[in-house]
A and B are shown apart, each in its own frame.
Chain A
Amino acid sequence: MRLLRLVLTRATFYAAAAIFAALFAIPLVWLLFAPFDARANLAVRLPHPFTLANFGKVFANAFAVRALFQNSIIQAGGAMLLVTLLATLAAYALSRSPIRGKDLLSYGLVLFSSIVTGTAAMVPLFLLIYSLGLIDTQLGVILVFTGGLLPAAIFIMRDFVDSIPRSYEESALVAGASAWGMFKDIALPIVRPGMMVVAVWTFVNVWGGFFVPFILLRSPSNMPASVAIYSFYTEGGTPIITLTTAYSLLYTLPVLALYLFVNWRYGFRFFGGIKS
């Protein structure tokens, strides 16, 4: 009797777990199979007949290729560098300065930042970028994303910077380091895992961002992949599943590569203090 109950509980648990896992896995499996399927539809099935022709068609679309391998990389990469650099410096300054109300400032910025890249601020942002003469430039897109993501990035970085004991920096100073030397030799290496988190997070956010480039860019030659994917829709506005999935698969690869590279090179971790 007890055994039966045990088996039943276990079975129920595994069944539930399997259902949940499938819920998450099925779309991914579909994305993996459909691009290689000459007659792909919304069903998940092994590619039949198997083909690479979908990718051939995607690569024939110069506009989409340029969007993915140039514009998206420039925009996401540019924002990534800018946000990571600025967030690190700002978090360091905020953490170490005696300014009153600096916590309130960071919280406030995080709160408002969700508005910046949201729909509500699009009209003023458009006007701002327009008067800066940056409409239809990659720089305009990079700046808007940077502004929107920076507060949260600073917030993440603050956690990392705050956890460096002041005595580390002070002992570097007493050892004879300059202020910059102390930052470069001590603070920067210790917060580097944090910078990696922020970098990947920023990249992913810009990579997947649709609305901002859609509004701020005009010429097809500047569009990122998130917009260019619509070139694989029919005139009537329905997606051509073979091509959109092939393009989507390519679209995920740079993010995956970045994540794997960072994880291999630096790891998403944090150095422990001295009392480990």
Chain B
Amino acid sequence: MARVVFDHVSKHFGAVRAVDDVSFDIEDGEFICLLGPSGCGKTTTLRLMAGLEQPTSGRIAVDDRDVTFAKPKERDVGMVFQDYALFPHMTIAENIAYPLKVRGAPAKDRAARTADVAQSLGIDHLLERRPGQISGGQQQRTSVARAVVHKPKVFLFDEPLSNLDAKLRVEARSFLKHLQVELGVTALYVTHDQAEAMALADRIAVMEGGRVVQMGPPLEVYRKPATTFVANFLGNPPMNLVPVKLRLDGGRARLQAAGLDVAVDPGRASRFRDGADLTLGVRPEHLRLVPDAGEATFTGSVYTVEPLGPETLITCTVDGQLVTARLFGDEPPELGDTAHFRIDEHHLELFDDAGVRVER
């Protein structure tokens, strides 16, 4: 149970700015996901929180106590490592009890608490085994058990599901979410999987090149991506991004590209000049199939059709540009067909030439 504050924290390794001026607050009991591609500084941020790295500049506080340079053992955190880092020479029971042992808890309390935690995680039948003798999913649970056994103030997870196979991953995901809600502990969770972040987080912090480029609730980040980078990173398939030119004509504004023409509220484009280069963004689920060219925003020829069960993904080429639509229920067009699509304006996002979202 703790509030965590990162205040202009940077961590440089020589010339590499692994973490670059990162600031955020985490509320008590909140589940935060750090989301970003490989090498964007997620793990380093987590290690700064754990005390395994010291920041080059900035300040980190837990419950108003400055822990910027505190040792790991002074921070009272529990961490699940990407490789689980279970001690190979100890049994599962000894692994789980280790945080209690170094805290000098009496052997009886240790055993009782270990049995308790192991039971709630469904690994109580494995206590006498060694890490090499249990499955990946069980190792993951053991690692979680070791992280929670001493009731830490903050949970840290570094891609804890990345070593599990797809089916187990979804299962473990719900389990982690449930556990965190049940324990009500503040959590900082690192992942490069946007679906995982969307499913787990109270708020997502999207990182790029050592910086947090956007932080907010999953749906807000999904609906209003702050930059084209975020738009492209969230969602599977991601948001369609099409370079367009702005045409201002009297009181009206239109976005145009080869094969595409859509009217927008002139208010949204008011700060740009005629002919400005913008990027139009639209989620695949917001492309509507329409019967004729008259209503259509654009027309393309069908390039691939991917039936996924409840939905079908249609990718079209529109003058060399690929655009993906997610269709539910409709009789999907077939390969090589000409398809007409409409974008409703309230579903359309605009990004300026620096890739930053234009507020409505």
Contact = CB atoms under 8 A, between A and B. Distances in A.
B87 interface: yes
B132 A272 contact: yes
A189 B72 contact: no
A175 interface: yes
A147 B186 CA distance: 53
B29 interface: no
B88 A175 contact: no
Interface stretch (A26-34, A69-77, A165-173, A214-222): A165-173
A181 B72 CA distance: 13
Interface in B52-88: 52, 71-73, 77-79, 81-88
Contact of A174 (B79, B82, B86, B139): B79
A173 B51 CA distance: 9
A76 B235 CA distance: 68
Nearest to B143: A171
Most buried by B among A165, A168, A176, A178: A176
A273 B50 contact: no
B86 to A, nearest CB: 5
24 contacts: A165-B83, A165-B85, A167-B82, A168-B88, A170-B85, A172-B102, A174-B50, A174-B72, A174-B77, A174-B156, A175-B98, A175-B99, A175-B146, A176-B72, A176-B99, A176-B103, A177-B73, A181-B102, A185-B102, A189-B89, A272-B88, A274-B83, A274-B85, A274-B131
Interface string A148-192: 000000000000000001011011111111100100011001100
B54 to A, nearest CB: 13
A186 B102 contact: no
B89 A190 contact: yes
Interface residues on B, range: 20 to 34
A190 B72 contact: no
B283 interface: no
A168 to B, nearest CB: 5
Given A170-B81, A171-B79, A274-B139, A176 B102 contact: yes
Contacts of A271: 88-89
A274 B79 contact: no
Contacts of A189: 89
A177 B99 CA distance: 8
A276 interface: yes
Most buried by B among A173, A174, A186: A174
Contact of B85 (A168, A177, A185, A272): A168
A175 B79 CA distance: 8
Contacts of B42: none
B87 A168 contact: yes
A32 B79 CA distance: 59
A274 B99 contact: no
Given A274-B132, A276-B132, 18 more contacts: A168-B88, A170-B85, A171-B85, A171-B146, A172-B87, A173-B71, A173-B72, A174-B51, A174-B72, A174-B77, A175-B78, A175-B98, A175-B99, A177-B73, A186-B87, A190-B88, A273-B88, A274-B86
Given A170-B52, A276-B132, A176 B85 contact: no
Contact of B73 (A176, A186, A273, A274): A176
Interface in B110-135: 131-132
B357 interface: no
A276 B103 CA distance: 30
B62 to A, nearest CB: 14
Interface residues on A, range: 20 to 34
B150 interface: yes
A165 B131 CA distance: 15
Contacts of A275: 83
Contacts of A170: 50, 52, 72, 81, 85
B342 to A, nearest CB: 51
Contacts of A165: 83, 85
Contacts of A177: 73, 98, 102
Contacts of A185: 87, 98, 102
Nearest to A270: B88
Given A174-B78, A176-B73, A274 B84 contact: yes
A174 B52 contact: yes
Contacts of A186: 87
Most buried by A among B87, B103, B150, B156: B87
A178 B104 CA distance: 12
Contacts of B51: 173-174
A242 B321 CA distance: 95
A190 B85 CA distance: 13
Interface string A245-276: 00000000000000000000000000111111
Nearest to A167: B85
B98 A274 contact: no
B87 to A, nearest CB: 6
Contacts of B86: 274
A177 B85 CA distance: 15
Nearest to A192: B89
A176 B150 contact: yes
A186 B94 CA distance: 12
B46 to A, nearest CB: 10
Contacts of B73: 173-174, 176-178
Contact of A175 (B71, B83, B89, B102): B102
A274 B77 CA distance: 23
Contacts of B87: 168, 171-172, 185-186
Contacts of B52: 170, 173-174
A172 B132 CA distance: 18
A154 B50 CA distance: 32
Contacts of A167: 81-83, 85
Nearest to A276: B132
B88 A274 contact: yes
